[in-house]
Structure 1
Amino acid sequence: MKVFSWRTLACGLLILCGLLSAAPNILPPSASQSLPQWYTDNTLSLGLDLQGGSHLLLQADLSEVPDQAQLRQDVMAASLEVVRRRLNETGLVEPLVARQGDDAILVQMPGVADPREVRELLGTTAKMTFHWVLMGGEAVAEMTLPTVEGDQYYRLDKAVALEGKHIRDAQLAFNPQTGAAVVNFTLDTDGGREFARMTADNIGRPLAIVLDGRVLTAPVIRSVIAGGSGEISGDFTPQEAGKLALLLRAGALPVPLEVVEERSVGPDLGRDAINMGLTTGLIGFVLVVAFMLVVYRGRGLIACLGLAVNLVLMLGVLSLFRATLTLPGIAGIILTLGMAVDANILINERIREESRRGRSAAMAVKEGFARAYATILDSNLTTLIAVSLLFLMGSGPVKGFAITIGIGLVTSLFTAITLTRLLTEWQIRGRERQPIRWGGSGWLDRLSARVPNVMKGRVVGLIASAVLSLAAVTLYLQPGLKYGIDFTGGTLVEVSAPGLAAESLRSVLPQQASLQEMGVDGHYLVRLPVAAEPAITAEQMEQLKQTIQEQSPAASFPRTELVGPKVSGDFSDLSILAVLLAGSGVLAYLWWRFESHFALAATLTIALDLTKTIGFCVLAGVEFNLTAVAALLALIGYSVNDKVVVFDRVRESLRATPDKPLLTLLNESIAATLTRTVYTSVTTLLALLPMALAGGTAVASFAQPMLFGVVVGTSSSVFIAAPLLYWLAQRRACRGEAQLRLTTEEIRRELAQMP
């Protein structure tokens, strides 16, 4: 009882911590004001797809930087700092600036629906230098540069008279005589001293101020400028002068940056995404709860309580790390809720089996949890292997999806083996010696009891699966997947122009553009193929918006996406690598935990599942983007989860009855896990179904392949994985090898029997 009390206390404290960590997300402002800021700041932040905003990926041109790791690191660190200063100068609310990879900078700007001005600001190097204008035939290295307007050229001394890095401050001002906008600048101490010396030595000579290879102005030095300050004049508008002052204050970029990826979401679309995610998630949760209550009654209520606590713990952990919640993250929470029930179903079915054997309630619970523990651990770890690759190789929302799934798997493991056990032990208190009464589905119980001879159709099942996978591969080759711009590159613009007919819009679009109606009057998706240079693609986007607004002045653009050719190529390579590594990781883990033929059977079956799912994407016209890749990797984890449950029962039966015919043993193992397999699939389908039906285009690429994959993965666990295991086991037996490696206890017994 003492151990039980300590276990109860520890479990209660952990749940309380999770609840307290999640609470700031729902506290009203009046309550938050009376609490410490360190606590109220412990909240989830919304991703750009939920609150609206813009995302830019800037790639640094390091071609002029020597190929030395330390030097390039310094250049990227300096670039990051300049980008951060420029964004802070604009007054944007909490922009996120972070390194991504070796040569890129990620910028996220909440609330900025049109990033055009920011893109121009960050794409300007702003390298300023001062050069003397050559008046005659001076014997120096010279260069010829145009003015900003391009209507005049200057011959300049190539040697830099003064570096722009000495500018300490710059501000917009207006010339008191002419009223023209100018930029007043102040130099640092070294720069002021040098400026005074060079102007004293060059009275009557023009000094050119050069910005990014163009001459801003070239005033004649009339007298010594000793105050460490000066004025940059030109044909500036106040906006242009203000922007120039900002660039000078923030400093020059050490290398040019170009936008290779751009995505923006309007605030209205973000609010719609939140409402959709909450609604479909709530409906999915209610459907899962209703199913568990119908099937398990009182035991189902325990599973539902565990599910609710699991959700609270997930939000608590995410809040603790101040994670960013995205639409794929919401999808991950919904999927996790469906998969979290699996552990409870495994436990319930194991307890039910022990009860059928005549065990008392206490013994049935003890043995049920003991036998289910290894299976739950194996199935969760194999899923984590696939999901961890999403985190390592994904970016942005896809990485958020991986974090959500990973945290959900850990919290569901905790609730299954601690909270569920405590609640179960409380439920049977006072009736430990009595049998547990079970309600539920009689037809599945009767089917399991009759031991269906699934293995009898093993050859037909394998042939049918091979034919379907071959057909899927054929569809992949022709007509092929409908790739999104994540893989093809290019520009996508969502257009909202009520009253604008499709034909009218199509008539003004560029010839290479494609138009897709979204089912709502005046809502369209316009796609442009990738251009040779990302800058040209950005130009295309702006020209496209201008053309549409000329046709319909009230048109708005809730969502825009721009992906350059290099980024799309990287996405393709990383996606293929992630799937291959996920398969290899699962193979290695199962090889270690089971045996080589178990691992090969599971891996081959998963490969067949993936090919069929890709074929479904082709037939259903699902857009194949990074979200679809996330679905494939999640499907690897889900599918291997199913296989592990069946294989774990096979391994258990092999140890208990090694002399039993393998076909009979496989049939009995399938029958013993059939109820769990069906129930888990149903709960996952119920959780995903609302999202697939009403989630919209944003999550369709995830939800639809997952729905199909759940059905395929479940059926393959019964009809494909077991026959493959039988075939591989037969080959192993012919070589005289054992089906399982000896356990530590078996090795100890054999050693004890040796003379």
Structure 2
Amino acid sequence: MRDGKYLPQLGLDLAGGTTVTLTAVTESGNPPQEEQMNQAVNIIRQRVNGLGIAEAQVTAQGDSIIVQVPGHSQREVVEQVGQTAKLYFRQVLFSDAAAPQPSNTPTSSPSASPSAEEGQSGRPSIEPSESSSGRAMGKALQNEGPGQAQAGAAPSTLPTNMPTSLPTGGTQQQPDLSGIKKSTLMEFQKLDCTDKKNRSGGGGEIEKANEQVVVCDRDGTRKYILGPAKVLGTSVDEAEAISDPQDFGQWKVTLDFDGKGTKQFAALTTEASQQQGDRNLIAIELDRTVISAPGITNGAITGGTAEITGDFKQKEAQDLANVLRYGALPLEFRQSSIESVSPTLGRELLTGGLLAGLIGLGVVAIYVFFYYRGLGVVSILSLAGSALLTFGVVTLMSEFIGYRLTLAGVGGLIVAIGITADSFIVYFERLRDEVREGKTLRQAVERSWGRARRTILTADTVTFLAAVILYIVSVDQVRGFAFTLGLTTFVDILVVFLFTKPLMSLLVRTRFFGGGHRFSGLSASSLGVPESVKARTRRVRTREA
């Protein structure tokens, strides 16, 4: 539905849309390899198709990829398909509130944080649970609960000399900073997660899996120091968004690890389960943002299956599963620009395309009325039926699966006029042949149909196969032409079999057509019937009467 009317949705070239430019960044600073760019284009195109968006354009230009999605409301989709989708599972080393800590302010003795046991009850955890298949399923990625912040509470400020550990006093447990690099602690102090740009790509350098990193959570309320990645997103075999049966209205993403990932995840959860405080947490990091960081309470998870939960809505869960399902991009990309684009061809060309279709239809109508006379009515009604059926199918596809009609698609619809006209011309010529051989009109209609049917099916099958092959080997707008060509070929078969043939069987029973009126197109003179055949046909008609 468009503007309150049931009309097909228009593609990027006819209605404009949104475009994003993704620029590839390499660790060495050298231009990316062509093979990597081609792989990235294919993955992004798969993501777009997985979201059910038709007629999107994904092209590589040098070290950049241009993604164009029709419709001005698709900005979020364009941003989502450009995610690098680098998924890491890391152990949390330290966490604190999101705001940066002043590095030049003397610090009083750090405040005590509750013990791990005190905060444990309010923290979501990773626990094995039996799935329907009998495998242990880890509730791996759950949103932090209110108790997590307390369990990992840090002092209000860190000492300026960055000690590797803080003193402990009494029975209260202090944050453990052992093993954390001084440079990492300094970066942690300066990071402000309330700034949105620090929650979208890490704000600068390319992230390395085998190093400690400082990142924010996706809400910007907490920041983390994470250890080296122990499980990579490439070890994820399958990702699926499902509704949470235990929490109505909430969605989650299930992950299945391969054999290597199962062993790595088991080792990671084993190590974390033996720690306390922040180091009992496993962070799930996607594109330098912590999606969730639950704790380990019941030992290691060895089943190879995990769940990402985090107060997801359906669309959010499906988008995340779509990104993970098609894999990480081979390169890291920065969004150079995102903007709305005006139609590249516009409504004027749409009007021109429709006008060309009407002119073509008019020329066909003139020809069939001139050559076939009254049978031209059958031709025009068949074309009208084909047009209405095609319009209805395209409109329904726009409504339910997001199909968008492009100028190339309009070209495929115009070609369909010739395909449909060719079908009934084959039928009419077979009918003429039968009458010339001495058959009555009623006999000729049935006998000619058997011969014409085979020819029509053969021709339409060849056209349909050509459209399928063109759709498979082509990309972007050429697919739009191939799709509408295949669709209209299928519609042509339906119209000829279910409308044109039954209509002819009814018309030859009328006096105007069956009696051979000179304007019916079935008169002896119109068919070129010899005098001997005319006499024989009249005798047959008399006996039938």
Scaled by the length of structure 2, the TM-score of the pair is 0.46
Structure with the larger strand share: 2
Structure with the larger helix share: 1
Q: Say which one has the larger Rg.
A: 2
Higher RCO (C-alpha 8 Å, min separation 6): 2
Scaled by the length of structure 1, the TM-score of the pair is 0.34
